[in-house]
Amino acid sequence: MNSKNWRRIVTTVISLAALCYVVYHMFSGGGQSYNTEIAIVTDYAQEITVNGWIVRTEQPLTNSNKGYLSYVVEEGEKMAKNGVVAQVYAAENSITVSKELELVRAQIANLQSLNSEVLAGTRPATINKKISTQMSAMMSAIVNGDLKTMTEEREKLLLYIHQKQIVTGELSDFSDRIADLRQQEKALLAQYRAPVGTLKTPESGYFSTVADGYESVLTTDKLKDYTVADLRNVEPVVLQENVVGKVVQSNTWYSVCIFPMDRARLLKAGETITLTLPNTDIRTTVKVDRINMNSWDAEAVVILRGDNMTGDIAAARGGEIRLRLNSYSGFKINRNAVHIEKRTQTTTDKDGNKVTKQVDVYGVYVIFGEQLRFREISPVYWDEEFVVCASGAKATADAAMLKQYDQVVLGGKDLYDGKPIN
């Protein structure tokens, strides 16, 4: 082997050895390179998804009239006893005629209320702003598929447009328009047939068109007795054909959920939780009411209480329920970055004397200039992968606290306070 080839081999071996040395020290913490993350204050919410049911005090609503129902109240609207929730018509097209007649009469009333005296002094710019806002409201209703609200917003928009026509002098009155509407009213009256009956609530409460057969199965008087097996095996009863809705008789409702035992043990009665209704993105606030558990079981029944009946809550029943158990704000740090170090703690006794002792302190190492420095942390929540640390906590020993934007070292060996990184 000639000297040139030999030098090439020697050079390659030395280079590989140097590369291995650098890589080894980088991963062992003995070099200058460290994996880091920046400490930034963030909000973290601990969430869990469980199977559960919505339980209310409710009564199915039956209709003894033959015909077609036209509901006159909103989903979840509160009703007095014997309150009318629907009109019953003999023919289905009578419902459409009735709604159109109501709309035409509302337009006539609006136009009759408009005159130059009432609108005297009104600025066009003011009405233009109302028109713009109303157009946005109508478009929002269209996007959400809320046809009832869209119709209402459209009528308001037309009223503002008519107001502008009066203020700007385009029209002095709406005699011609009112005459046209009167003709429409007359034609509709020729087709109109009065309702043949009404649907009333037997008790006071919140009306809902949704009845599912669980009304008599999932009841509030069984809350203290529900077991995991009860909830897994619950089945609805078959409703009578004339059931057309229900009345929820109380503002208070419950979510009965199956929890892993280790999670259930961490809850306390009265604790506030954010709940997302099953099969929706609708959130509401509830409180832990009670926990049914047996120490030998792997799961428990957690009962959450709400006191804010709405149409969505009145219609909801069972499925996956998302729960936000706790919310934290602070530094979210990789758990691999956390160390426990002995530090000196100084306190003052009852006689005013200073007392020092060695204590274990949670902390992380940060890059500070050309050194590693130890920074104390105050954990408020531990996860398998990270820890959330309070951002405004005070030091308990002779170490500065972690601060916003500190460069936290995620790993390495032989780390110590003051270690040079060059």
Amino acid at 374: F
What number is the average pLDDT over the span 232-252? 94
Under DSSP, the state recorded for 237 is: P
Return the pLDDT at 276. 94
Q: Give CA–CA dist 248/202, Å, rounded.
A: 11
Mean pLDDT of 25-51: 75
pLDDT the model gives residue 44: 85
The conformation of residue 225, written as its DSSP 8-state character, comes to: G
Average predicted confidence (pLDDT) for the chain: 85
Spatial neighbors of 291 by CB under 8 A, at least 6 apart, are 259, 264, 267, 269, 300, 301, 302, 303
Res 109: pLDDT: 83
| pLDDT value of residue 350 | 86
pLDDT of residue 14: 44
pLDDT of res. 119: 58
Give the least confident one: 23-37, 68-82, 161-175.
23-37
Q: What is the pLDDT of residues 350-386, one digit of tens each?
A: 888 888 999 999 999 999 988 999 999 999 888 888 9
pLDDT of residue 86: 92
For tokens 């003709």, the residue is 183
Q: Please give the average per-residue pLDDT across 306-332, as a whole number.
A: 92
In the chain, domain spans = 1-26, 36-44+331-409, 49-60+212-236+245-327, 62-197
Binning pLDDT at 50, 70 and 90, where does residue 7 land? low
Mean pLDDT of 159-186: 80
Q: Which of 44, 52, 42, 76 is nearest to 275 (CA)?
A: 52
pLDDT tens-digit map of 250-308: 999 999 999 999 888 888 899 999 999 999 989 999 999 999 988 778 999 999 999 99
**Which top CATH class is 49-60+212-236+245-327?**
mainly beta
Rounded to 10 degrees, the C-alpha dihedral 213/217/221/227 comes to -140
Share of the chain above pLDDT 70, in %: 90
- Comparing 336 with 12, the larger pLDDT belongs to 336
Longest distance between any two alpha carbons in the chain, whole Å: 116
- How much is the average pLDDT of 101-122? 73
pTM across the whole model? 0.62
